[in-house]
Structure formats: C-alpha cells, structure tokens
Homo-oligomer: A and B are copies of this chain.
C-alpha cells in the first residue's frame, strides 16, 4: 500500500527530514532497501549499514539522523515506529470472508456473532461462543465450553478444549493447545491416581501465543494469562500458573504448576520455572536460566548456567567443579598450617 513520507510522518507522529512527496510501498533491511522501501535503525550494531543505504526513508532516532544519507523519519523509539509503519504499509494477507466453510462442522448449540469466519476442516462444538469478527483457521478444533472475544484469530490447527476463555484481538498460532489436563497425580499403593483437572484457561486481551505452545487448564480454579502477554513457540504453561500483563516469554520456556510470574517481565528462551514460586513484576530472566525459588525483587535481573567451552576445557572444568569440596579442604589445611582461622563456611557445605 503506497504512501508518501508526508503521510507517514503525519499518521505516526514522526519528524520528517526530506521530501514529503516521495512515495514508499514496502519495507526492507538497511543494507537491502531500495528507493521504494522504508527501513529503520534501532540496534546500534546495524549502524554501519546507514552511510550506504539506498532506502527511500529510514526511521531512526535523533542521534543517528544527521548521518542518514537519505530522507529520515525521526523518533525516540524507531523500532516501535517501524512496527507501526510496516503494519500499515504491509497489512497481513486478506482476512477470510465471514461465514462457515462448507467443509467445517459447527454443531447446534454453538453461538457465532457477526462476521465470524470458520475455516475449512474446522470443528466447533456446542457450547462454543465466538465474538464478532473471530477467525477460526483451517483444521482448528474448539470442543467444550469455549469463549473467544472479538477479532481474535486462531491461525490454523489450533485446539481449544474443555474450558477456555480467550479475550479480544488475540493471535494464536498453529499447533497451540489450550485447556488440556494439567499434570495432577496422587501417589498411591498401586501407582498413580489421576487428580481430576476441573478448572479452565483464561486468556486476556491482546495476547499472542506461538506455534505448538501448550497451556493447561487449572486443577481447581483457572490458569490465567493476563492482557498483553506475548508467548513465543513451544512454551509449556502448567496448571494454575498466572502470567502477569504484558510479560513476554521467548521460546521453549517451561513454567511448572501454580507458579506466578509478574507483570512486564521478560523471560529468555529455554528458561525453566519450578512450581509454586512467585516472580515479581518487571523481572528479567536470561535465556536457559533455572529458576527454582521465588524472585521477589521488582525489576531484578537473573541468570544461571555455564556458557559453552571447547570440549576438553569443559571436561577439565567439570572435573574441577566436582572436586571443589576437596579444594576447599586443601585451602583450609593451608590456613590452619599458616595459623590463620578458616572462615565459618569452610566447614559448611550447604547450598
């Protein structure tokens, strides 16, 4: 969708340096953009591509603007401005037309609001309530007491079962499963007794859920994903977890049952959370971190794990770590021989 730089500046509140009548119609990275493209500079690491860019316009901050060889759209937050401009210039593929595809099955007892689109091979059971403009993509299964808010899109092959409520304007990617049973087992003489999972999943507004992510229903009461939460792919959320508003979680994270994560947290990929713990608001967790206790400091930043070494170095290091107890003993003996007092914790091997 072509636009002039003047239109973009006005519509998105950006300061234009350059010809307001120049027309752009696409987006591209700084190093590859041509005169019809909008580009942006947000990460300083890409600054080296700026002097030679052929972009039609670059969205950047004031500090970088003077070095821009082409027209510039200046703003304090170039990445967010780029996101808005790109969404407007390159709207997503045409929404499916409202209606029920002939190959879909919608049972009597489902309630569909105006403008709902049910895709090919989809299934919608009795008890499902879909708000205005909801899109149920191809091959999706909605089976149970399901409620989906206005303009939410289930991309394709999404499964909502048992008892799930999803808010408005959510985007749920393929392979997602909301509402499967949590992992509730009571040990008994002859093995495990299944603990009935009777709660639901409650997802707020403006939530995005990545491909093949799973969110279990609560055991008693609901698993809750608050407004504006962004979940990447292959995340596992256990029963009765609560994720606070606007928290973003990268791929492959697991959150065990009954854990609460605060608002506006940022969680790196592959991190894992033990059950029944609490993480404060605005906490940042690095990728691959192993969170086994509550983190109560608002805005704290946490990490764990040992980054890679070459295999022979790693092997020696593991050997040294596993003999730390003995190294401590050796230091203690040296201290005693030197007549100095070993500290209290020299004999206290607790974690």
Residues of A within 8 A of B (CB): 27-29, 32, 42, 45, 77, 79-80, 82-84, 86-87, 90, 92-93, 101, 103, 105, 119-123, 125, 137-139, 141, 143-144, 155-157, 159, 161-162, 171, 173-175, 177, 180-181, 183-188, 191-196, 198, 206, 208, 210-212, 214, 216, 220-221, 228, 230, 232-234, 236, 238, 245-246, 248, 250-252, 254, 256, 269-270, 272, 274, 276, 284-293, 295, 300-311, 314-328, 330-331, 333-335, 337-338, 340, 342-343, 345-346, 348-351
Contact = CB atoms under 8 A, between A and B. Distances in A.
A214 B211 contact: yes
B343 A340 contact: no
Contacts of A293: 307-308
A77 B186 contact: yes
B180 A233 contact: yes
A83 B324 contact: no
Contact of A79 (B82, B186, B208): B186
Contacts of A90: 196, 198
Given A220-B28, A288-B290, A310 B318 contact: no
A101 B106 CA distance: 12
A193 B228 CA distance: 10
Contacts of A307: 290-293, 304, 318
A143 B158 CA distance: 14
Given A173-B180, A270-B254, A285-B308, A328 B335 contact: no
A84 B338 contact: no
A77 B141 contact: no
B349 A316 contact: yes
B331 A305 contact: no
Contacts of A316: 325, 349-351
B256 A254 contact: no
Given A317-B322, A334-B331, A186 B269 contact: no
Contacts of A221: 29, 32
B159 A157 contact: yes
A343 B318 contact: no
A193 B325 CA distance: 47
B141 A220 contact: no
